[in-house]
């Protein structure tokens, strides 16, 4: 029987600390950290994520702004909005919710966000700095995973770490953070031969592939720490991760539930980045 990692509870602790540090910073400088989120179109999942981000900002006393743009927004209109926010001194962080509707160029949009306001850490300047290990902005989801490991007293140094998934948002930066923590890191993906043979080596297994219940208990080393980044909706409407919890939980020593595991930590790290951006703006 694995111990559950309470992401919701840990996120609440970290957010209380962010709120305290933001209040201290505001008292010192008169600056309230501010986040602007742009959402284009009416993707229902994106709308939920954006609502949660706004609420999280308000809960820690940040200024927050949501800019809703219609699904037929053009590139010049979107880039114009980013330009406005670039020059808005109340806004320290700019986030454009992805995915964007077809016809809009995500890479060009990310490139237009000034690196010092890029609280997602998606801009090439920030991803490059993450690779080098010298960065201001945390990649939100991978950093949330590291925070959970740290909170549970899991020492990454020297451990076999296997990351399943190689996305720019999660898999690749996750591998970098585990490497910076001195893990021995393997990245698996859809072309990996004998995936189970690799995942069974993992002392720490991080799964971010977007396939419901894909990693089963027989693919996990007894006693492994299992971190499930997945967020999938099953046919019955229930949320589920990329790990088949029912078969994984008896094998693992520590495991994150979905929901209530990694999810709450992602937004927490976004708040941390927004505070960092505000602090750097007065330096």
Q: Is 120 a catalytic residue?
A: yes
79 part of the interface to ligand GUN, by CB under 6 A: no
Residue 57 neighbours by CB under 8 Å, 6+ apart: 35, 63, 64, 271, 274
60 part of the interface to ligand GUN, by CB under 6 A: no
**How many residues belong to the site for ligand GUN (CB under 6 A)?**
7
d(CA 177, CA 146): 8
97 part of the interface to ligand GUN, by CB under 6 A: yes
242 part of the interface to ligand GUN, by CB under 6 A: no
64 part of the interface to ligand GUN, by CB under 6 A: no
125 part of the interface to ligand GUN, by CB under 6 A: no
Residue 137 neighbours by CB under 8 Å, 6+ apart: 118, 119, 120, 121, 126, 273, 276, 277
Q: Pick the catalytic residue from 6, 53, 118, 279.
A: 53
Q: Pick the catalytic residue from 81, 117, 118, 120.
A: 120
- Tokens for 90, please give them: 């109340």
Q: How far is the CB of 266 from ligand GUN (least distance, A)?
A: 6
135 forms bridges with which residues in the sheet? Answer: none
- 156-182 residues labelled b (16+ CB within 10 A) or e (exposed): beebbbbbbbbeebbbbbbbbbbebbe
Please pick, from the candidates 98, 111, 131, 179, the single residue that binds ligand GUN as defined by CB under 6 A. Answer: 98
140 part of the interface to ligand GUN, by CB under 6 A: yes
Q: Is 97 a catalytic residue?
A: yes
120 part of the interface to ligand GUN, by CB under 6 A: yes
95 part of the interface to ligand GUN, by CB under 6 A: yes
Q: What x-and-dash track marks residues 168-197 binding ligand GUN by CB under 6 A? A: -x----------------------------
Q: Is 53 a catalytic residue?
A: yes
E strands, 223-278, in order: 225-228, 232-233, 239-240, 254-255
- Tokens for 160, please give them: 């076999």
Question: 235 near 203, Cβ under 8 Å?
Answer: no
Give the residue with the Cβ less far from ligand GUN, 199 or 273.
273
Give the residue with the Cβ less far from ligand GUN, 243 or 270.
270
d(CA 97, CA 106): 10
Chain residues that interact with ligand GUN, rule: CB under 6 A: 95-98, 120, 140, 169
């Amino acid at each position: 029987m694995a111990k559950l990692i309470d992401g919701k509870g840990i996120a609440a602790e970290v957010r209380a600390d962010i709120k305290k540090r933001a209040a201290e910073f505001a008292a010192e400088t008169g600056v309230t950290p501010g986040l602007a989120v742009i959402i284009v179109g009416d993707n229902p999942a994106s709308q939920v994520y954006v609502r949660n981000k706004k609420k999280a900002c308000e809960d820690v006393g940040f200024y927050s702004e949501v800019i809703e743009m219609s699904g037929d927004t053009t590139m010049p209109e979107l880039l114009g909005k980013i330009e406005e926010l670039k020059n808005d001194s109340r806004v320290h962080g700019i986030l454009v919710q992805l995915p964007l509707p077809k016809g809009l160029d995500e890479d060009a949009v990310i490139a237009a966000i000034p690196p010092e306001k890029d609280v997602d850490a998606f801009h090439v300047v920030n991803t490059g700095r993450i690779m080098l290990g010298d960065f201001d902005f945390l990649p939100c989801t991978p950093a949330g995973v590291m925070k959970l490991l740290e909170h549970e007293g899991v020492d990454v140094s020297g451990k076999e770490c296997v990351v399943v998934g190689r996305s720019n948002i999660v898999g690749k930066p996750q591998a970098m953070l585990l490497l910076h923590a001195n893990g021995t890191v393997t990245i698996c993906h859809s072309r990996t031969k004998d995936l189970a043979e690799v995942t069974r080596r993992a002392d720490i297994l991080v799964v971010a592939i977007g396939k419901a219940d894909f990693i089963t208990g027989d693919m996990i080393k007894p006693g492994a720490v299992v971190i499930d980044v997945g967020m999938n909706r099953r046919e019955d409407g229930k949320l589920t991760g990329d790990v088949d919890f029912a078969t994984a939980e008896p094998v693992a020593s520590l495991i994150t539930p979905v929901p209530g595991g990694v999810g709450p930590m992602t937004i927490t790290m976004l708040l941390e980045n927004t505070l960092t951006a505000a602090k750097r703006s007065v330096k």
